[in-house]
């Protein structure tokens, strides 16, 4: 655990120090940038913060490679594929932030990113429910690419308010890290270095280091490169976790449901995925492209209810933490204790979310009765 804590601290420090450098370099590209109607900021803001996140993540990988503890993680081709995919993300992300690429170009790029990791050994070969094996190689690649593209777009859809995507990613990475670490110790007590835990530890530090610069009022955005990198790293971690589950015995570990490894990745990006699904249906219903932008995401609706940007972001953090912690707690706490705890947390989050709307209705009723 001490090495993981060291890596989290290292990537945090690297990200915190690199972000102002990237912002300074990126300012020369934002002077003529237009502020879109759906944007929440009033003046152009540098969108290249994802480069700092990726750079600090890569520096953390380099540091980890020097520790004997992680020798097994660096033995295969998985990190080679991940590195190539991150390189494509930097190029694609910077191009999109500067030139606003068409949606189909970005989709092709995302498929290429998924293909790179899939062809370097990061594959969904089986599902941890029963003994469902995916025997066809091409189907393994297709399912892996689909998961990668889905996760990247889910994170992308959450990047609408200052600090939102970085905070959700940090919460997801922290939750996934804890789960992956404990799972790894149950798979092997002698060698429990774990790819998923390593990636999430580095992502956690990188996002936390970026967050002080990105929280409202933000002086830099992570841009396309940041959201794509976060989605990629989370999806690769998810695939690594589902692979590790195959090393467990028939009893799994403690009372965890067999489907938990599949559920956890979706729990981490639950809010972005929900927003993604609702947005696609909404745009198709309006006869628009599902990739066309709008200002009707969950965070936009919270602003319309009367929340400030900071309060909306913190409430979305709270919802993400409630969902993630409640589900992961099933692995360590009896369900009979988790359910009341989860209900209390949901009630607190719900009151905080809808309180302005309740106050508005009460005030309207009071005025009506006053007349």
Q: Is 214 annotated among the ligand-binding residues?
A: no
SS3 state at 132: strand
Sign of CA dihedral 8, 14, 15, 17: positive
d(Cα 227, Cα 292) in Å, to the nearest integer? 17
> Measured between alpha carbons, how far is 256 from 251 in angstroms, rounded to an integer?
9
Return the axis-axis angle of helices 309-329 and 298-305, rounded to nearest 10°: 130
Dihedral (CA of 142, 143, 146, 151) sign: negative
The β-bridge relationship of strands 126-127 and 132-133 is: antiparallel
- The radius of gyration of the chain's CA atoms, rounded to the nearest angstrom, is 21
DSSP symbol at 27 = G
CB 7 within 8 Å of CB 44: no
Cite the annotated binding site by residue number. 156
Cite the annotated binding site for Mg(2+) by residue number. 156
């Amino acid at each position: 655990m001490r090495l993981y804590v060291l890596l989290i601290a290292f990537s945090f420090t690297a990200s915190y120090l690199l972000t102002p450098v990237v912002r300074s370099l990126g300012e020369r590209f934002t002077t003529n940038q237009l502020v879109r109607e759906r944007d929440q900021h009033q003046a152009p803001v540098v969108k290249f913060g994802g480069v700092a996140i990726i750079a600090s993540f890569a520096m953390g990988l380099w540091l980890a490679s020097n520790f004997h503890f992680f020798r097994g993680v660096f033995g295969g081709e998985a990190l080679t594929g991940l590195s190539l995919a991150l390189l494509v993300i930097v190029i694609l992300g910077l191009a999109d932030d500067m030139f606003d690429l068409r949606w189909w170009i970005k989709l092709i790029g995302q498929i290429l990113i998924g293909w790179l990791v899939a062809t370097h050994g990061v594959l969904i070969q089986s599902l941890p429910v029963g003994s469902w094996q995916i025997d066809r190689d091409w189907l393994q690649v297709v399912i892996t690419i689909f998961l990668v593209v889905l996760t990247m777009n889910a994170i992308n859809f959450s990047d609408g308010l200052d600090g939102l995507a970085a905070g959700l990613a940090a919460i997801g990475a922290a939750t996934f890290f804890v789960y992956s670490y404990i799972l790894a110790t149950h798979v092997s007590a002698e060698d429990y270095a774990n790819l998923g835990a390593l990636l999430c530890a580095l992502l956690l530090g990188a996002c936390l280091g970026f967050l002080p610069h990105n929280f409202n009022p933000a002086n830099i955005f992570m841009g396309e490169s940041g959201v794509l990198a976060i989605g990629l790293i989370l999806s690769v971690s998810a695939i690594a976790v589902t692979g590790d589950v195959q090393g467990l015995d028939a009893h799994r570990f403690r009372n965890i449901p067999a489907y938990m490894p599949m559920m956890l990745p979706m729990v981490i990006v639950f809010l972005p995925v929900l927003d993604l699904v609702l947005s696609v249906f909404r745009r198709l219903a309006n006869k628009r492209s599902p990739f066309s932008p709008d200002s009707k995401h969950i965070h936009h609706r919270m602003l319309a209810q009367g929340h400030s940007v900071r309060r909306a972001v913190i409430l979305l953090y709270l919802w993400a933490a409630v969902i993630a912690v409640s589900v992961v707690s099933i692995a360590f706490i009896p369900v009979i204790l988790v359910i009341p705890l989860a209900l209390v947390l949901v009630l607190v989050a719900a009151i905080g979310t809808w309180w302005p709307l309740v106050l508005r209705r009460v005030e309207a009723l009071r005025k009506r009765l006053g007349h």
